[in-house]
């Protein structure tokens, strides 16, 4: 079974990693539709932080991701038509019927967010820390 998900994946964090791991567990192949730099700029002004090539390289380094396809359109609908996945996954802020392409697949699975993990939180904390002369991650609660 082919599993498809999509997103910006601009500043990759633990929530993304766990989400992708859970997505892959639903099938044999996980394909990630990655918003191009141009589409990220439309969806999230002031972003992306990382280029589409860098975002793709990081995603492909994860053992759960089998393929990454960059798309320029506002939604991945054309890509979904082209790859014909069996399952679509999205993060916990969606209802299945809100997911682009849900009528085209056998299953649409909503995977809950991992509380306290978001790209926006990391970016905001990094900007605050920079203004205060603190190092990266100083107020993020990360420990080794």
Residue 93, Cβ density class (10 Å: 0-12 exposed, 13-18 middle, ≥19 buried): exposed
Confidence tier at 126 by pLDDT (50, 70, 90): low
Q: How far apart are CA 33 and CA 22, in angstroms?
A: 16
Per-residue confidence (pLDDT) for residue 112, from 0 to 100: 87
CATH of 2-132, one of 1.10.10.1100, 3.30.1300.10, 3.40.50.620, 3.40.190.10: 3.40.50.620
Query: pLDDT tens across 40-78, in order?
Result: 999 888 889 899 999 999 999 999 999 999 999 989 999
Q: How far apart are CA 135 and CA 72, in angstroms?
A: 35
Query: pLDDT tens across 81-121, in order?
Result: 999 999 999 988 788 999 999 999 999 999 987 665 555 55
Residue 28, Cβ density class (10 Å: 0-12 exposed, 13-18 middle, ≥19 buried): exposed
| pLDDT at residue 22 tops 50 | yes
Looking at 6-15, 80-89, 112-121, 135-144, which range is the least confident one? 135-144
| pLDDT at residue 142 tops 50 | no
Q: How far apart are CA 72 and CA 18, in angstroms?
A: 26
Strands 87-91 and 67-71: unpaired
Confidence tier at 144 by pLDDT (50, 70, 90): very low
User: Nearest Cα to 8, choosing from 97, 16, 80, 102?
Assistant: 16
């Amino acid at each position: 079974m082919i599993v498809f998900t999509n997103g910006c994946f601009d500043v990759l964090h633990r929530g993304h990693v766990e989400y992708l791991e859970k997505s892959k567990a639903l099938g044999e192949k996980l394909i990630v539709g990655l918003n191009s730099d141009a589409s990220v700029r439309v969806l999230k002004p002031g972003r992306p932080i990382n280029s589409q090539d860098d975002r793709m390289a990081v995603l492909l380094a994860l053992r759960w991701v089998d393929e990454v396809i960059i798309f320029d359109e506002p939604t991945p609908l054309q890509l979904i038509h082209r790859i014909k996945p069996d399952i679509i996954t999205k993060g916990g802020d969606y209802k299945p019927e809100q997911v682009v392409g849900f009528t085209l697949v056998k299953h649409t699975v909503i995977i809950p967010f991992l509380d306290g993990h978001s790209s926006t939180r990391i970016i905001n904390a990094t900007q605050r820390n920079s203004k205060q002369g603190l190092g990266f991650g100083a107020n993020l609660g990360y420990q080794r």
